[in-house]
Amino acid sequence: MSPAPARACGIDFGTSNSTVGWLRPDAPTLLPLEAGKPTLPSAVFFNADEETTHFGRDALAEYLEGYEGRLMRALKSLLGSSLMEGSTEVGGRALPFRDLLASFIGELKSRAEAQAGRPFEQAVFGRPVHFVDDNETADRRAQDTLEAIARQVGFKEVSFQFEPIGAALHYEAGLDREELVLIADIGGGTADFSLVRLSPERARQVDRREDLLGNAGLHVGGTDFDRALSLECVMPLLGYRGRMKSGVEIPSSLFFQLATWHTINFAYTRQAFADFQHIYRDAATRRELDRLARLIGQREGHWLALQVEQAKIDLSAGDTTLLHLDRLEAGLAHRIDREDFALATRSLVERVAATVGNLLDRTGVAREKVDTLYFTGGASGVPQLRARIAAELPQARSIEGDLFGSIGAGLAVEAARRYG
């Protein structure tokens, strides 16, 4: 008799992409969520023209087609932040951020149930090692908020597992011998690491606490690399680090808002526009600020952020990329080289590397004893970051997992183990 499908699902609610895993016989673990693909980009678009709500790739397509409305991305970044108890304006009404997250997680649940042909009342959610760095109270509040939202959309039993452990469980399913593995899970919002002993024999054990030698994480991920690349290589085209007539540098808050996914809409408020008018009036030069005025007036902040994100992807695969910025100025194009990308993100890379080094030192495990460095999460493909982490473990072999699916698949294993 073949085993029955699991009762529960595993949910990887990611900063950039989300997946749902469900263990069942002779079928892929990850459920297709959009257009046959297992990933659903963590994006919501409220179409003001047609008064409709769109999710995932559909949300991005609606926005890029030019419909009026509000695009929200990097929703997970709200958890643990002061913004979580606030709201944003949609269609002239205040939409609490809690309800925004509930709409997306509810959509994940309903799509997974439609594909599975059955309801899910139990789920194991992935969570970063730290939602919030160096603040246990805020970190606990972030998990409690996510649990409350999950229950709000219909889950009756909710539990959590660290995302790198989810990836470890997925990797372990393919092992034929014991390995000491450093799981490097670097997603859109966080970089998380787990040092864990894995083997086919250990996989059969229910209690794995002795196999987990240490965890570490920090709030640095792909969106931080986007922001650094934007600020260093793109925002100067809009006036960042320009000068006022007095000689002082132009205030930077507007540029930081536009370079950060979940704060882009703040650049369109009345106060932000009033601040910009003051800057424009007293700026030493205005050509770059004319581009910024066009960006704000046409609400092209998310469009620009998408161009920067694509540049990051291009520079992770090749040596150079060319941004076409005609929406800001006719014929405007800007070349960025991989060296520029590396320089812009150097401090982020070193922060991540320091976290890895501290984890290895804290566990007391000699670096030469680590067999494998397992990369997962979309941002783990950034070459300068991967090389710097690998330098901490020069004798370990580097393995690339399913960058977007390992965690969801591993959480499905954990869900079956916990709930049957």
DSSP string for residues in 236-257: GGGTTT-BBTTSSBPP-HHHHH
**Range 85-98 average pLDDT:** 86
pLDDT digits (tens, 9 = 90+) for 246-256: 999 999 999 99
Q: What is the pLDDT of residue 284?
A: 94
Cα(249)–Cα(247) distance, integer angstroms: 7
305, 223 Cβ separation under 8 angstroms: no
**Range 204-232 average pLDDT:** 91
Q: What is the pLDDT of residue 82?
A: 83
pLDDT at 205 over 90: no
Q: What is the pLDDT of residue 1?
A: 36
Q: How confident is the model at residue 93 (pLDDT cuts 50, 70, 90)?
A: confident
pLDDT at 29 over 80: yes
Residue 217, beta-bridge partner list: 192
Q: How confident is the model at residue 4 (pLDDT cuts 50, 70, 90)?
A: confident
Q: Which of 91-95, 123-127, 244-248 has the lowest mean pLDDT?
A: 91-95
Q: What is the pLDDT of residue 334?
A: 97
How wide is the angle at C-alpha 409 spanned by C-alphas 403 and 412, nearest 5°?
A: 155
351, 159 Cβ separation under 8 angstroms: no
**Range 85-101 average pLDDT:** 87
Tell me what the pLDDT averaged over the chain comes to.
93
Q: What is the pLDDT of residue 80?
A: 85
In the chain, the N- to C-terminal Cα span, in Å, equals 16
Structure tokens at 279: 């800057």
pLDDT at 384 over 90: yes
Report the chain's C-alpha Rg in angstroms.
22
pLDDT digits (tens, 9 = 90+) for 307-327: 999 999 999 999 999 999 999
Angle of helix 301-317 versus helix 56-64 axis, rounded to 10: 120
State the burial class of residue 304 (Cβ atoms within 10 Å of its Cβ: 0-12, 13-18, 19+).
Answer: buried
Q: What is the pLDDT of residue 272?
A: 92
Residue 46, beta-bridge partner list: 53, 70
Cα(344)–Cα(357) distance, integer angstroms: 22
Q: Which of 9-18, 31-40, 62-71, 189-198 has the lowest mean pLDDT?
A: 62-71
DSSP 136-201: HHHHHHHHHHHHHHHHHTT-SEEEEEEHHHHHHHHHHTT-SS-EEEEEEEE-SS-EEEEEEEE-TT
Contacts of 204 by beta carbon, 8 Å cutoff, 6+ apart: none
Q: How many CA atoms lie within 13 A of 345 on its CB side?
A: 29
pLDDT at 2 over 60: no
In the chain, what are the domains?
9-176+402-419 (3.30.420.40)
**Range 114-118 average pLDDT:** 97
pLDDT at 258 over 60: yes
238, 291 Cβ separation under 8 angstroms: yes
Indicate the pairing of strand 320-324 with strand 17-21: unpaired
pLDDT at 123 over 90: yes
Q: What percentage of the chain reaches a pLDDT higher than 90?
A: 80
